[in-house]
Amino acid sequence: MTATLLERGTPPEGRLRPEGARVAWAVPCGLAVAGWTLLVAGDVDPLQAFVLVLVVGVQVGTGALLWRLAQGPAGLSVSELIGMGTAIGLLLAMLGAQLLRPTPLAPLGWLAPTAALAAALLAPAVRARLRAGTVVRPAFDELGSVGAGLAVALVYVWSFWRAHPLSFDGWRSYYVDIPYHEALATSLATWGPGDSIFAAGNPVRYHWFVHAWSGATTDAAGADAFVVLTRVLPLVVFLGILCLVWTWSRRLSTHRAVPALAVLLVAVGLNVASASSITFLQHSLLSPSLGFGALSLLGAAVVITDLLRGTLRWPYAFLALFAVGCVGGKTSFAAVLGGGVGLLAVAGLRDRDNRRRALTALLVVLGAVAVAFVVLVMGSAGDLFLEPGATARAFGVWDGSGWLGLVLGTVAVVLVFAAKWAGLLVLLGRRARPEVWFALGAAGAGLLFAAVLGHPGLSQTYFPISAGVAVSVVAAAGLGVALDRLPAATLWTAAGVGVAAGVVGLLSVPQRLAWLSPYAVWGLPLLLALGLLLHRWWRGGPARVRAGAVGATAALAWALSIAALTSGQAAVLDSARAPAPAPAAPEAPMAWSPAHAAALDWLRVHSAVDDVVATNRQCSAPGDQAATCGRHRWFLDAALADRRMYVQGADYLDGLPHPAWVRDRIDVSRRFVDAPNEADARMLWDAGVRWVVVDLASTSNRDWGAHAAQAFATDTTVILRLSP
């Protein structure tokens, strides 16, 4: 089939036949059953899993109906309804829960969008518009593309679940940020952004939307700790993302292979020749805000496409909603969205048909992003700082010396990320359409921030990772054009070169030669493209070189995309073959046991919601000497007790090094447990502290005199009730 870039197929006329309707409705029903089955297999209580499926189903269904109303009589695929329903429904449910949190309706806040939609449907005109639309029967390529992406996602999810069991004997150690995210979810659902569970009395300045949604969904379903964050969220978000990728790619090209390529590039495609593997799905498991923000970016991309075609009702409202979702989901997506819409608007100045729409879209995005950033994030003490070359140094492609090395290393970083976006090269030779400019702007913004910013945890790489979610889809449309342009022999040759290039990127090389690896990966496809040009010149002279450049570019893009998929496939296989994590040693950093959980569960049940809790456990690893504390990233007390801490997880509070007020709270908390005295007891009491969690491995003291009474104890933990 000939690839027609950026053309949408004509929606089917009339209503869906009964047999088609049954198939269309069977898909979400089957997904609900599959979701329940997976949750139970992931050690979630069956009844709890059923309630969770019901709660999420209501949220997604609300978003799908709103999108159905906005599209009018158009024929929509099941994937589009699920994808846009997830992006819209989860965001609105979270916002409703937050807006109604201070009111008596707080327990039902997540249902506010559903109630508003139900009220609107009482109007005959609204019901008529809803009935005017059609649902397209899912075809094999739709089910196969999304299904293949889900299969890859489940490999990562299953590996993640094995590393984070909900129940266990002995000692386990979660990834450091998982308790942090769980605690923050409770914080947002209970106290909102005005107070922090990690430092009572201090606001939360962060991209916290995914945490607020997780906390609200946990409360709505009565779920246990870590269930929504580690079980429900990955399944729902990955399904929504893959459905959105399929939906947008189908709008960009009629070539049947493009949606499958887009799904594979997003789910499997990997950076090439880097010491740090950047897999979107894996990072979304460890950083849930990444997946949640991706829903808003992809939702905005679909809205922009429909806006430029004039097929959508209320486009700017949806665009503003998704722009806010990008800021609150993960701020890197806001930078990427701004870069994409900005370049689209500039390029659209010459397009009379779309100039006004593009400029209005830019103003809406910039305004929504600015307001959301001021309200949600501004004032946070993030650790991102201006440091050109930091990413190149972390990737091992620059040794930190010399301007020439900095330039070569920075270019190497671009090559590392851009391999799986190579399909864009094919589209540059055409009359670039708005979505191509959007992708180029997003890619440029992501790569720019990665090149000039630094972070101790390599967080600057989230900018190109975020960009890649959208850029990969447009690149897949370019690959569809390449498939039509290249003869079969050239396609197979380019695929073989791509596999070889991907393998080269996986090879270990001496550190002094690491900077060459990205160039070597790109070098093989470039040699192929050069060979095709020379072949053209040899057969027809210089006159045929210009025509041959188009085919050479298509072969280059195809080979580089295969290289990225080869690297990604290796990551999938490594995850599938990884053995189950071994139990942790009691003295290991972040290790905890059922004894810790029992004590903190007791505290949650027997304390008031607004009680503040102090603890001597401030370090990632247990120990009774402050000098041995390398990292302050212990979040378990906040995560399981569901109470505001006087201070905990200091490294994530207000930047590094810790400000004076954080150090003072740490010192008082430790000092009271090690050597209790009247002054420290009074300071804690006046700050609202009513309980103290004593980590026995972090102190040698076992007597707190008249200042606190022991209320509960296990082998690892003592709960003290502070005396007034």
Cα–Cα distance for residue pair 57/50, rounded to 1 Å: 10
Alpha helices by DSSP H, listed for 268-372, are 280-286, 288-309, 315-329, 331-347, 355-372
The amino acid present at 378, given as its one-letter code, is M
Which pLDDT does position 275 carry in this prediction? 63
Handedness of CA 306, 312, 316, 322 (dihedral sign): negative
- pLDDT band at residue 12, thresholds of 50, 70 and 90? very low
Q: Shortest CA distance to 332 belongs to which of 194, 470, 440, 228?
A: 470
For the segment 253-280, the average pLDDT, to the nearest whole number, is 86
Give the DSSP H/E element, type plus range, for residue 47.
helix 46-71
pLDDT(9) > 70: no
The amino acid present at 269, given as its one-letter code, is G
- pLDDT band at residue 13, thresholds of 50, 70 and 90? very low
Spatial contact of 709 and 688, defined as CB atoms under 8 Å apart: no
Cα–Cα distance for residue pair 303/309, rounded to 1 Å: 10
The amino acid present at 534, given as its one-letter code, is L
Q: Shortest CA distance to 293 belongs to which of 87, 596, 436, 514?
A: 87
Cα–Cα distance for residue pair 679/328, rounded to 1 Å: 41
Quote the tokens at residue 242: 């893959």
What is the rounded average pLDDT for all residues in the chain? Answer: 91
Q: Shortest CA distance to 410 belongs to which of 363, 365, 448, 384?
A: 448
Spatial contact of 300 and 322, defined as CB atoms under 8 Å apart: yes
Which pLDDT does position 721 carry in this prediction? 97
Quote the tokens at residue 275: 């010491």
Q: Nearest 5°: phi and psi at 224? A: -80, 170
Cα–Cα distance for residue pair 181/635, rounded to 1 Å: 9
pLDDT(299) > 90: yes
Q: How many residues does the chain have?
A: 724
- pLDDT band at residue 380, thresholds of 50, 70 and 90? confident
Location of structure tokens 């920075």: 410
Quote the tokens at residue 675: 């050597």
- CB count within 10 Å of CB 189 equals 26
- pLDDT band at residue 641, thresholds of 50, 70 and 90? very high
Spatial contact of 714 and 595, defined as CB atoms under 8 Å apart: yes
- Weakest mean pLDDT among 464-473, 476-485, 532-541, 693-702: 532-541
Q: Shortest CA distance to 545 belongs to which of 564, 563, 532?
A: 532
Long-range CB contacts (< 8 A, 24+ apart) of 532-538?
532/490
Percent of the chain with pLDDT over 70: 94
- CB count within 10 Å of CB 377 equals 18
Q: Which residues face 712 on adjacent strands?
A: 719
Which pLDDT does position 625 carry in this prediction? 57
Biggest alpha carbon distance in the chain?
97
Q: In this predicted model, what pLDDT tens digit does every residue of 201-215 receive, in sequence order?
A: 999 999 999 999 999
Cα–Cα distance for residue pair 431/703, rounded to 1 Å: 78
Q: Shortest CA distance to 417 belongs to which of 522, 292, 294, 554?
A: 522
- pLDDT band at residue 2, thresholds of 50, 70 and 90? very low
pLDDT(154) > 70: yes
Give the DSSP H/E element, type plus range, for residue 386.
strand 385-386
Give the DSSP H/E element, type plus range, for residue 613.
strand 612-615
Q: In this predicted model, what pLDDT tens digit does every residue of 542-590 receive, in sequence order?
A: 666 666 788 899 999 999 999 999 988 888 888 888 888 889 998 888 9
Q: What is the dihedral of CA 662, 665, 668, 672, to 10 degrees?
A: -130
Quote the tokens at residue 21: 């309707």
More confident residue, 380 or 252: 252
Spatial contact of 234 and 214, defined as CB atoms under 8 Å apart: no
- pLDDT band at residue 189, thresholds of 50, 70 and 90? very high
pLDDT(627) > 50: yes
pLDDT(392) > 70: yes
Give the DSSP H/E element, type plus range, for residue 77.
strand 75-77
Q: Over the range 668-691, which residues count as b (16 or more CB within 10 Å of their CB) and which as e?
A: bbbbbbeebeeebbebbeeeebbb
3-class DSSP state of 244: helix
Percent of the chain with pLDDT over 90: 72
Q: In this predicted model, what pLDDT tens digit does every residue of 32-45 receive, in sequence order?
A: 999 999 999 999 99
Q: In this predicted model, what pLDDT tens digit does every residue of 450-478 receive, in sequence order?
A: 999 988 888 899 999 999 999 999 999 99
pLDDT(100) > 70: yes
Q: In this predicted model, what pLDDT tens digit does every residue of 326-347 receive, in sequence order?
A: 999 999 999 999 999 999 999 9
Which pLDDT does position 457 carry in this prediction? 80
pLDDT(496) > 80: yes
- Weakest mean pLDDT among 12-26, 479-493, 658-672: 12-26
pLDDT(136) > 50: yes
Q: Shortest CA distance to 518 belongs to which of 636, 599, 417, 597?
A: 417
Spatial contact of 97 and 90, defined as CB atoms under 8 Å apart: no
Q: In this predicted model, what pLDDT tens digit does every residue of 395-420 receive, in sequence order?
A: 888 887 788 888 988 998 899 999 99
Q: How many CA atoms lie within 13 A of 379 on its CB side?
A: 9
Which pLDDT does position 276 carry in this prediction? 65
Cα–Cα distance for residue pair 444/673, rounded to 1 Å: 52
For the segment 677-697, the average pLDDT, to the nearest whole number, is 96
pTM comes to 0.95
For the segment 275-282, the average pLDDT, to the nearest whole number, is 76
Cα–Cα distance for residue pair 288/164, rounded to 1 Å: 14
Cα–Cα distance for residue pair 486/550, rounded to 1 Å: 10
The separation between the first and the last C-alpha atoms of the chain, rounded to the nearest angstrom, is 78
